Structures are given as structure tokens and as C-alpha cells.
Amino acid sequence: MRVTKNISIVLMLSFVCACASLGEKGSQVASSESPTNAELNQKFDQFKDSFLDEFWSYAPGWATYVGYYKYDDQLRIPSKDSRQAERTFLLKSLVELQRFQLSGLSTNNATDYALIKNQLESGLWYLDEFREYQWNPSQYNVANIFGLIINTDYKPLDERLRTITKRLENVPAYYAAAKESINNPTLQHIGLAIQQNQGALAVFDELIPNKLQQSQLNADELNLLKNRLQLASQSISDYVEWLKRTQSSISADNAPDFRIGKDLYEKKFKYDIVSNYSAEELYSKAIAEKEQLHQRMYEITQQLWPEYLGGEKMPSEPLVAIKQMIDHLSTRHIERENFVTEIRRQMPIIQKFMDDNKLLDSDPTRPLVVREAPEYQRGFAGASVDAPGPYDATANTYYNVTPLDDFTPEQAESYLREYNHWILQVLNIHEAIPGHYTQLMHANKSPSKIKSVFGNGAMIEGWAVYSELMMMEAGYGNNEPEMWLMYSKWNLRAVINTILDYQIQVLGMQQQAAIDMLIREGFQEQAEADGKWRRATVSQVQLTSYYNGYAEILAFREELKAKMGDKFDLRSFHNKFLSYGNSPVPVIRKLMLAQWGLSED
């Protein structure tokens, strides 16, 4: 799932929204409001609309991403003055927000209040304390929104090309400001910035120019657009060369540490994840979960051993036996040239299983398009989803898959063994149906745009992980033990993500120890382990979102089962849960319990 948007710095950085606790006042909302409260809620609804419009003016790229096209021709320059203007806006909005009496708001508005408040507070924290704009040059990349504009038919092509022409005007100044803002960058983030900005060149050298032959722009318009495309391409190339010079000037011995340390990690976890746990508590929980998964996988290995490896003695060490079984099964995989095609083929099959088992409502009018990932998005994850925002909810959702063209034969084989016959299906469940694609389609129908646009990463990723279990519990894969073993390996990945991220960013784990853990305890292939190490060096906290969200969703489901008994209906639970947009799980729990008349005890 895409979790970053290359847009206005502060507001982009706080994309993964956190929600402060609603507190006692937030939960003491009468079921029928007095006239005074009705007036207050009406004023708050008006505030939300005006707030969002001003918010998008400071984040025009993000606005375009969610389908709010009013500012699609604007590219904000990430300068010191721009950051100061954003800081002023954040502080002003906090003052305006706090004029509303929380106890008088409806439950829906009280949670929106908390989401807005924490969005603003986290934005200030990112700006004033985390200061990623200084040390992460990979956050400066203009390609995503240009690619989105040219690929989304939200208005006629010629109008979109004129929008692009206007937006291109600030690209040279954008990269000049980026260079001025960067101070003490890490080698890891420099490397990612070089890779992704080199990929960005294709947008301006190929993608947009290839559309010009379909346009009706006049000669002057075409010349202006072509000149600005050339200037944009040159600005990006200059930025890449500047990064390479910066990279060569930093020795490994005196390079800044990419690790953020315990204090910043806990604060970032609080803002980004919004959990009932602290980061350290979740880390401890993940370690215990890892041991339980190992035990279940060993039991399945014992069951499968006579069929597949009956001629060999089973190793006495459980982890060794599990790995031997996984290695044996992993030779069953698709050919590298068919990787993207096979993912396309599986989509309707998985959709039909979900529909036939009545797990969740679907909507065939909301399209899913499987495509090769654009080059400017490669280098972070092998598969991801680009979903439309709630303002343009009927636009295409793209399932981006990175082809294996650039892999050596050895790298491709390692990758394909990781995404073998069984795990490739789990990946598609996670990324598409009923994972990210299905969840985000439901989120875009939420009546609260606040809950949809200020998406909580732990809820989004947690749902995708939970959806895997949902499908397995329904009998996906005919309950084959092979499928359960590989699912368990995949589920173990979410758990180990949490352990790995904490150990690297807080406890200082080194590369070889991390790779060894991923391969020995996570049963991952070398290529996957290498990629995960790299990901953990250029991001922080996000890797914990999978397990945290999954654990809280599953716990809430089991809580409702206990409270409701025979009245509990799985499909109703899923549909209701997803109706609250991308809210944090604790917020959804509060709302659902209140609306279903259940206590929080």
C-alpha cells in the first residue's frame, strides 16, 4: 500500500494520521442532540469544509491524490518560507478547532475533531522536531502527481495538459529549494532519492510527451509545455547529479545514522500508529506472537513431512525442519516473465471466493487495474496499491506490480520462491481483494471525508493483514495444510516487521544480524531479506503498522463475538467496520460499540 505522497512537506509528512484519545468528554454524547448541540454540530460541519479547503491549498499534490482537483495546477515549493506558512496555518487551525466544545459534538464529529487535532499536532511535530525535510532527500520527487494527472481522466486531456504546463512552472524552483533544505542527509535516503528521481525522468521524457500527439493544443501551448518539460527533466537530472556528488563526499565512517532512536521512535509511533500499546509494548507482544507462530508452523510441517520428505529424517530443530519444508514447497512458482500476468489472472478468482462466501460487500462499478509499477515508484515495495481519494471515488484503483526485468536469474529465482504458488495468492489478497483495494473502496463511501483522507496507516495495513486470515478462515485454498503453512509464513512477516523495525531503529541491530533473523526465523529468501533491510533503513515505524492493526482488529472482532453471541454476523461486522473510513482502530471500536448499543467494558 502506498503510504507516502510527494507533496507539500509538512502536510505530506503527517499523512499517516494519528488520533489522540477522545477522552471521557468525547464518549459522553447524548443519542439525541439538543437544539444548541445541533447548532454546534452544524457549525462544526461548516468548519470542516472550510478547514479542508484551506488545508488542500497547502497540500495541492495530496489534494489531487484524493480527487480534490481545485489546486491541481499548483506545485508548492518546499522552501523555508513555505514551511513557515504551513506552520502558521497549523497553529491557526488548532486555535479555531479548540473553540468548539467537545462535549457538545456528536460521536461522529467528536472523532473527526480528534483526527483533525492530531493531524495538526503531528504536522507541527514533524516540522519542528522530526525535521525529515533536512535529512531525507527521497521525499523530494515531483513525479507522482504529474503521473496521476496524466493517467486519470478526471477532465479532458487538453485541460489536463494545460494543468501540467502550469504545474511544471515551479519544478526548477522546487528542486532548488530541496537542495537548500537538505542538511546532513543519510546515505540510505540519498540512495533511494537517486533511484526514484532517475525513475521520475520517464514521466517527463516519455509519459507526458507520448500524450501530446493525442492533444488539440495550439502551437504556442505545445511549445510552452515542451520547454517546461525539458526544464523539469533537466532540474531532476541536476538534482540526481547533486545527490551523487553529496553521496561521494560522505564516507561510511562519518555518515549520519539513519536510526532515529527510542525517543523519536515512540513519538512517531504515537502519531502514526494510534495504538493501545506503546512501541515497546507492541515489540514485546510481537516476540511472543512469533513463538506461537513457530509452534503452529512446526505442527503443520510434521503433518506434511511424510508426503513430501518422507525419505529423509526430520531435523530435531523445529526451525530447521520448517525451513526445509518451506524450501521444498517454494520451488513451485510462476515463471518470471508471467509474474504480472499471473497476478492479473488471479483477481477475479479471489473476488469470486469473497463474494461466494459472503464475507464483505463488493462494488463492481469501482475498477481495479493491475499494471506494472511506474519506475518513479519502484525501490520501496514490490507491490502496492494507488487508490483514488474520496473526492473522486469512482476513478481507477491501480495495483502496481514491479516486474522482474532488472533481476539477475539468481535474484529472480529467489524472489519467485518467496512469492511462490501459495504466497502469491496471499499477496494478492493483502494488496487487492479483500485487502487494500476493497477496504479503500469502502473508505471512499464514508460520509466523513475527515476519516477517509486522514488515513490511519495501522488500520489500513492492519485490515489487509486481517483480510488474509478472514479468507483462510473461510476455507480459501481448500484448507490445504500447504496453504496454511505458507499463510503462516506470510503472517509471520507482519510480526517480524515489528520486531525488525524496533530492533534496528531503537536497539541498533546491524545488517547481518537482521538478515540472519529474517532468513532463519522468518524463513525469507535472500532477496526478500535484503529488500526488507533496505526498507527498514529508509522508513521508521511504518513496518509496525501491519501487526498492530491486525492484532487490534482481531481482538475487537473477538470482543464483539463474546458480547453479541449468536447475534454476531461476520459480514455485518466487516461492512460496518469499514464504513468509518480510514479511522484508527480504537476510534472505530468506540463508534461501533456506541452505535450497536454495547458497553466498552
* Confidence check: pLDDT of 7 > 50: no
Question: Measuring CA to CA, how many Å separate 14 from each of 119, 122, 124, 179, 511?
Answer: 7, 6, 9, 22, 28
CA distance 491 to 429: 12
Per-residue pLDDT of 351-379, as tens digits, reads 999 999 999 999 888 888 899 887 766 65
Task: Give the residue among 462, 30, 492, 74 at the shortest CA–CA distance from 274.
Answer: 462
Residue 598 lies in a domain: no
Q: What's the total number of domains in the chain?
A: 3
Residues 119 and 186 placed together within one structural domain of the fold: no
335, 426: one domain: yes
Lowest mean pLDDT among 393-397, 458-462, 563-567: 393-397
Looking at the predicted structure, is the pLDDT value of residue 21 above 60?
no
Amino acid at 83: R
- What does the pLDDT average to over 142-159? 95
In a domain, 471, yes or no: yes
pLDDT at 241: 98
27 pLDDT above the threshold of 60: no
pLDDT given at position 377: 62
| Residue 406, pLDDT above cutoff 90 | no
Which one-letter amino acid corresponds to residue 576?
K
Say whether both 78 and 152 belong to one domain: no
Task: Tell me, yes or no, whether 123 and 153 share the same domain.
Answer: no
Answer whether residue 215 is part of any domain.
Answer: yes
Same domain (yes/no): 295, 410 = yes
Give the domain-ending residue among 77, 99, 130: 130
pLDDT bin (cut points 50, 70, 90) of residue 191 is very high
DSSP state of 314: P
Question: Cα-flanking dihedrals φ and ψ of residue 384, to 5°?
Answer: -160, 165
Task: State which residues form the domain around 231.
Answer: 139-248
One domain, residues 477 and 428:
yes
- Looking at the fold, whether 297 and 386 belong to one and the same domain comes out as yes
Q: How many residues does the chain have?
A: 601
What single DSSP character describes residue 578? H
Query: DSSP letters of 184-246?
Result: S--HHHHHHHHHHHHHHHHIIIIIHHHHGGG----HHHHHHHHHHHHHHHHHHHHHHHHHHHH
Confidence of residue 33 (pLDDT cuts 50, 70, 90): very low
Is residue 211 scored above 50 in pLDDT? yes
pLDDT at 541 over 80: yes
Flag whether 563 is in a domain: no
| pTM of the predicted structure, to 2 decimals | 0.87
| Cβ-proximal residues to 144 (8 Å cutoff; 6+ apart), any chain | 5, 6, 61, 65, 376, 377
pLDDT of residue 330: 96
Q: What is the mean pLDDT of residues 324-333?
A: 97
Instruction: Clarify whether residues 110 and 153 are in a common domain.
Output: no
Of 255, 146, 270, 268, nearest to 209 by C-alpha is 146
The Cα 286–Cα 277 span in angstroms is 11
- Residues 46 and 191 occupy one common structural domain: no
CB atoms within 10 A of CB 303: 14
Same domain, 109 and 49: yes
**What whole-number distance in Å separates Cα of residue 478 and Cα of residue 280?**
38
Single-letter amino acid, residue 307: E
Q: What is the mean pLDDT of the chain?
A: 91
pLDDT at 32: 40
On whether both 323 and 231 belong to a single domain, the answer is no
Beta bridge partners of 375: none
Same domain membership, residue 121 and residue 143: no
pLDDT band of 36, cuts 50, 70, 90: low
Q: Of the given ranges (15-29, 44-58, 386-400, 581-595), which has the lowest mean pLDDT?
A: 15-29
Whole-number pLDDT of residue 100? 95
Written as one string, the DSSP assignment of 264-298 is HHHHHHHHHH--SS-HHHHHHHHHHHHHHHHHHHH
Beta-bridge partners for 369 = 398
Contact between residue 544 and residue 497 where contact means Cβ atoms under 8 Å apart: yes
The angle formed by the CA atoms of residues 469, 473 and 478, to the nearest 5 degrees, is: 115
pLDDT tens profile 283-304: 999 999 999 999 999 999 999 9
How confident is the model over 263-272, as pLDDT tens digits? Answer: 999 999 999 9
- List all residues 6 or more positions away from 151 whose beta carbon is below 8 Å from its beta carbon: none
